[in-house]
Structure 1
Amino acid sequence: MLIDADNANPKVIEALLGEVSRYGIASVKRAYGDWTTQQLGGWKTSLLDHSIQPMQQFANTKGKNATDSAMIIDAMDLLHMRGLDGFCIVPSDSDFTGLARRIRENGLLVVGFGEKKTPKAFVVACDRFVYTELLQPPEAKSAATTVASPEPPREVLDLIRNAIEAASDDTGWAPLSAVGSNIAKQSPDFDSRSYGHAKLSGLVKSLPKHFQVQDRPRPDGQSKVVFIRDRQSAA
């Protein structure tokens, strides 16, 4: 996990690490910045509490982001020297598109984190992208980061429909897990939390006029599998 501490918010680190744990263990955790400045003073507790290694990078030239360069160099070194399965990159305001693309060319997973201002080119270059506004403590979230409307916009509904079509059988039903995977491939920054639901299952169940949802028991009878069908195709 490589963090641009100059731009990332230390208040979201605990939640961010929780997101990272969904993909594996963060064996390398580094935060880059000029630690001699007061600007990064708020990071001290987060670094200690989460065993994140601070990487000192002096701003040698005004107007040039030395932190970005250091992150990219270290990422390439790690790519070729360590047996890693993936990278989590937290850049916020800089374009790391080339880095994400290069890492994916080597067959590794790339999960990006950043604010809404993160360049779209970097967002779509990642396998998965999470907006850090969704990770802020509840009291820090604005209305814009919770539920913006009673239901998602048409483009999101179409995204779900396309994912169902790609994963469905002859009857139109598709496992929700496969639908979620297809959504991530089409739109790495899709997140059901943007629409007030912690999981995709909660989102689709809140849209009964658009989708049918079934909880089917597994053969072992110990758990259930969620299936979904587009009502338009079923009509």
Structure 2
Amino acid sequence: MANNTDLPNHLAVLIDADNTPPAIVEGLFEEIAKYGTASVKRIYGDWTKPNLGGWKKVLLDYSIQPVQQFAYTTGKNATDSSLIIDAMDLLYTRDLDGFCLVSSDSDFTRLAARLREAGLTVYGFGEQKTPKPLVAACDKFIYTEILRDDQDDADAGKAAKAAQERTAGNTPPIKFIARVIDDISGEDNFAHLGALGQNLNKRRPEFDTRLYGFKKLSDLLAAQKKHFELRKGENGGLWVRNKGE
């Protein structure tokens, strides 16, 4: 997104408790705040089961409404159906600008596509094991590993170390970035950094500089001096071009 004026204001946050760890909750809502206001916050699961105990501890703190869904038959996920039905009800009864679907379950792929067909923005949140079709069905997909706040991280030092471990081994997609720069650059071969970020996310909804250990796109590009050249524009904006090496 280029700037805050382009962001949707009212979002519905629908969480699949069966496929989402409670350790992400703080980072999740901090991330959602970048895109708009979480006007609806619901989480779906069978709250009679002990495996959701971690979520029960944080529901009140974040004002998330739990939706009870009993598992009627072994091997069938009734939670998914409940979330999908609610999403469609909200689509037609509430004046929303977008949805945040929090799950790694590919069963929500068609839901994400249907919401986008209705003209709403869809933000997906899931683990890196999330099937590619669900990732591609969203406007933007954020991997929840970068949002985690594990209880074992007793201090900031341990938390930082854990974050580094989660991003270790991830190599920035240099060739992909270079192709996008070529596609959108002007006659001087420079592309505006904001436009580059928008196009990267349009082509790969899951693209996120934090996966490679960088907070900002400019930081990632600056660290790849062999491949990219950054310069400031007359109005203070940043521009980038390929070095072609």
Same fold (TM over 0.5): yes
8 Å CA contact 2:231, 2:239 repeated in 1: yes
Whole-angstrom CA distance in 2 between matches of 1:140 and 1:41? 27
Q: Name the residue aligned to 2:6.
A: none
Q: Name the residue aligned to 1:202.
A: 219
- SS of residue paired to 1:103: helix
Give the RMSD, CA atoms, in angstroms: 1.7
- The one-letter code sitting in structure 2 at the alignment partner of 1:214 is R
- SS of residue paired to 1:28: strand
Cα drift, residue 217 of structure 1: 4.7
1:165 and 2:182 equivalent?
A: yes
Q: Name the residue aligned to 2:202.
A: 185
Q: Name the residue aligned to 1:36.
A: 48
8 Å CA contact 1:93, 1:117 repeated in 2: no
Any idea what the Cα deviations from partners look like across 1:107-160, whole Å, max 9, x if unmatched?
Answer: 1100000011211100011110011111113368476521316x52xxx11221
- The one-letter code sitting in structure 1 at the alignment partner of 2:169 is A
- SS of residue paired to 1:113: strand
8 Å CA contact 2:80, 2:107 repeated in 1: no
Q: Name the residue aligned to 2:7.
A: none
Cα drift, residue 36 of structure 1: 1.3
Structure with greater contact order relative to length (CA < 8 Å, sep ≥ 6)? 2
The 5 Å alignment of 1:1-235 reads 1-137=13-149, 138=159, 141=162, 145-148=166-169, 151-152=171-172, 156-218=173-235, 224-232=236-244
Whole-angstrom CA distance in 2 between matches of 1:99 and 1:166? 31
1:88/1:191 Cα in 2 relative to 1: closer, same or farther (>3 Å)?
same
Cα drift, residue 216 of structure 1: 2.8
8 Å CA contact 2:106, 2:133 repeated in 1: no
TM-score, scaled relative to structure 1: 0.90
- Range that drifts further, 166-175 or 185-194: 166-175
Q: Name the residue aligned to 2:9.
A: none
- SS of residue paired to 1:18: helix
Whole-angstrom CA distance in 1 between matches of 2:133 and 2:146? 20
Cα drift, residue 82 of structure 1: 0.9
8 Å CA contact 2:209, 2:216 repeated in 1: yes
What is the number of equivalent residue pairs in this alignment?
224
Whole-angstrom CA distance in 1 between matches of 2:161 and 2:53? 20
Listed as ranges, the gaps of 5+ residues in structure 1 are 219-223
Cα drift, residue 163 of structure 1: 1.9
TM-score, scaled relative to structure 2: 0.87
8 Å CA contact 2:164, 2:213 repeated in 1: no
Any idea what the Cα deviations from partners look like across 1:15-62, whole Å, max 9, x if unmatched?
Answer: 011111111101000000011111111112321111110011011111
